[in-house]
Structure 1
Amino acid sequence: MALTVTVHPAGTGGVDEMGDEIEIPGEPYVLEVESIYPTTSDEPGDPNRSLVITRLTILASEGVRVGAHDELEVPGYEGRWGVVGEVAIFDERSNPARRRGVLCRGRRPGLDIGCVQINVEKVAG
């Protein structure tokens, strides 16, 4: 079963028929992802309680691009989650193991791995 999240793109600015500035919301879409997991909490550990999850890390395939102001709905986690910081892209430009010839100083092909890391934090709900 594939993991998916719903992306709500940030709104764009526009002007209505009266000349007032308005925000036009983007059309939501479903995005297939590879992994979703909570990041570590700053709260002290206590074996008798559950920590509140306020941040998630989402890994998706290399070609995925999510905007800095987009919000996501993540199954299993209530509310909306906003993108934090820049999306980390691990592709053949940023990952030396992906480049040809770096493994064992030979002319071997690089590893066929890569991903996009999206960090999100709770914004609503």
Structure 2
Amino acid sequence: MKTHELKLDIKYFDDVKSGKKNFEIRKNDRDFQVGDILELKAWDNSLWQYAFKKKDGKWHSYGRLADTIKAKILNVVLADEYNNFQESVNGIPQSIKWANSYQETYIKTIKGVLKDYFSNDRLPDGYVILGIEVVK
């Protein structure tokens, strides 16, 4: 089991922290494995700095201070597997195991994230979808 320190866009931080967004889309340059821990640090993409929330509920950036979430990898879905799946339950690849039962919501959220970062609904080669669960 490895621990991977990664940046997490503040746009998604609260949804990951609450469990609403229970996946990460990442380049598979770290050989992610089930059971690995992600140490996700809040990152303000507009300022290219780490970020933290003050009691006022607003994001602030200052050096390397960052709110952090730890999450365990539950499953790893490769780009080919995601992009080329056969028809399955609700049009979702059988290999994607979610922490709860709102699969249709998550597949829409995944497609939204893909459009935000890659301008299409396909996962680029070399990327993975990591099913995650926040841990203490």
Greater helix proportion: 2
Using structure 1 for the length normalisation, give the TM-score. Answer: 0.39
Task: Tell me: higher relative CO, structure 1 or 2? Use CA pairs within 8 A at least 6 residues apart.
Answer: 2
